[in-house]
Homo-oligomer: A and B are copies of this chain.
Amino acid sequence: MADATTNRQIVLASRPSGEPRPENFGIVEGPMPLARNGEALLKTRWLSLDPYMRDDMNAGHAYSVEIGEVMYAKGVSDVVQSNNLALTVGDVVVGETGWQSFSVTDGVNLRKLDAELAPVSTALGVLGMPGLTAYGGLLTVGQPKPGETLVVAAAAGPVGSLVGQIAKLRGCRVVGIAGGPEKCRYLEEELGFDMALDHRTADLPKRLAAACPNGVDIYFENVGGHVWKAVFPLLNMFARVPVCGLIAHYNDVELPPGPDHVPELLLAVLDRRLTVRGLMAGDFEPQADEFRRVVAGWLRSGQIKYKEDVVTGLENAPEAFVGLLKGNNFGKLLVRVSGDGLENSN
């Protein structure tokens, strides 16, 4: 077992072809990094695992992780040493830490957290990147209006569940698509969705059409694949499609067989005047303060709920991530790397 000054890292061992496997990751142990002048040493408490990281494992992207490099991730950390005037030992911060137990920061792109306002883990979920994605993507791209119908894919995930709840607050009819009866029940009974459908059901297109008698005005896309195919024919005139994730395609090694449906898609965009627009949390950074203020208010008032799915121990991150891509998580997937009862497990 490593001692308390060992830095444990999960690195990309090889690039997956299709579904990633635990063997695509490696564990490396080394000395704790040093905080030089102006820097602080962070001890990771919570690590965020998100589907987009699958894309980081592929070569040739702006965000590609190199073989042997630490996987990227946002984390919530404790400041354990500081040579930075703005950071004090004991501060809890959120920032880019990577899949590792310690990291060093120069204080840039880091935000201090106030544990009295909300549990610090929410800075990775409902009050973090997934939350901002949902808030900005829905309000800026989706532009929900009262009485409209919104369909959201991966609806029980951290983005989808917030999208649906905000759309309800805005007066929309909200239909969620999720994996399995337990998640569907949660959406309808706990989060107040008007309806939730299991994407594994054989007659999804038919059941979705029945659930959306007035068509679909906003489709918040997190999935692609057969879920996209079920929603596409239902899109109304002037419908908006914020494209936030495509978990069905991250593992694709080749395109699906034909025919090529691109002309059909473009003709629908033209005839129905659709707006299809890609988004990521970073696009809404100028709205981030507003987002945190508004959503924190909804959390306090109980108008918005959230769910976390916690895995303990950094060494379990690869397996948890592989499961995430299969939809095994229920709520925001977090890895507890250190903290209560874990101080010596690193």
Give residues in A with beta carbon < 8 Å to B: 55, 61, 221, 224-225, 228, 243-246, 248-249, 252, 254-280, 283
> Is there an interface contact between B273 and A275, defined as CB atoms closer than 8 Å?
no
- Docked Cα-Cα span, A105 to B252, in Å, equals 57
Chain B hits for A280, CB < 8 A: 270, 273
> Is there an interface contact between A260 and B266, defined as CB atoms closer than 8 Å?
no
Contact of A269 among B254, B259, B270, B278 (CB under 8 A): B278
Chain B hits for A276, CB < 8 A: 266, 269, 274-277
> Is there an interface contact between A267 and B249, defined as CB atoms closer than 8 Å?
yes
Q: A256-B259, A261-B262, A263-B255 are in contact. Are A283 and B273 (CB under 8 A)?
A: yes
Contact of A266 among B243, B259, B283 (CB under 8 A): B243
> Is there an interface contact between A228 and B269, defined as CB atoms closer than 8 Å?
no
Distance between A284 CB and nearest chain B CB, rounded to angstroms: 11
- Docked Cα-Cα span, A270 to B223, in Å, equals 11
Q: A224-B266, A277-B276, A278-B270 are in contact. Are A261 and B260 (CB under 8 A)?
A: yes
> Is there an interface contact between A249 and B263, defined as CB atoms closer than 8 Å?
yes
> Is there an interface contact between B261 and A255, defined as CB atoms closer than 8 Å?
yes
Distance between A225 CB and nearest chain B CB, rounded to angstroms: 8
Give the nearest-CB partner of A270 in chain B: B278
> Is there an interface contact between B260 and A260, defined as CB atoms closer than 8 Å?
yes
Distance between A12 CB and nearest chain B CB, rounded to angstroms: 19
Extra pairs beyond A257-B260, A273-B279 (20, CB < 8 Å): A61-B271, A228-B266, A243-B266, A243-B270, A246-B266, A249-B263, A249-B266, A254-B259, A255-B258, A255-B261, A255-B264, A256-B259, A257-B259, A258-B258, A258-B259, A270-B278, A270-B280, A271-B278, A273-B278, A274-B276
> Is there an interface contact between B283 and A278, defined as CB atoms closer than 8 Å?
no
Distance between A253 CB and nearest chain B CB, rounded to angstroms: 12
Chain B hits for A255, CB < 8 A: 258-261, 263-264
Chain B hits for A277, CB < 8 A: 269, 273-277
Nearest 7 A-B pairs (CB), nearest first?
A258-B258, A255-B259, A269-B278, A273-B278, A270-B278, A275-B277, A276-B276
Q: List 27 A-B contacts (CB under 8 A).
A: A224-B263, A224-B266, A228-B262, A243-B266, A245-B270, A246-B263, A246-B267, A254-B259, A255-B263, A256-B260, A257-B259, A258-B258, A261-B261, A261-B262, A265-B265, A268-B278, A269-B277, A270-B278, A270-B279, A270-B280, A272-B278, A273-B278, A273-B283, A274-B277, A275-B275, A275-B276, A277-B277
Chain B hits for A267, CB < 8 A: 246, 249
Q: A61-B271, A267-B249, A274-B278 are in contact. Are A262 and B262 (CB under 8 A)?
A: yes
Give the nearest-CB partner of A250 in chain B: B267
Distance between A231 CB and nearest chain B CB, rounded to angstroms: 12
- Docked Cα-Cα span, A38 to B255, in Å, equals 60
Distance between A187 CB and nearest chain B CB, rounded to angstroms: 24
Distance between A215 CB and nearest chain B CB, rounded to angstroms: 14
Distance between A244 CB and nearest chain B CB, rounded to angstroms: 7
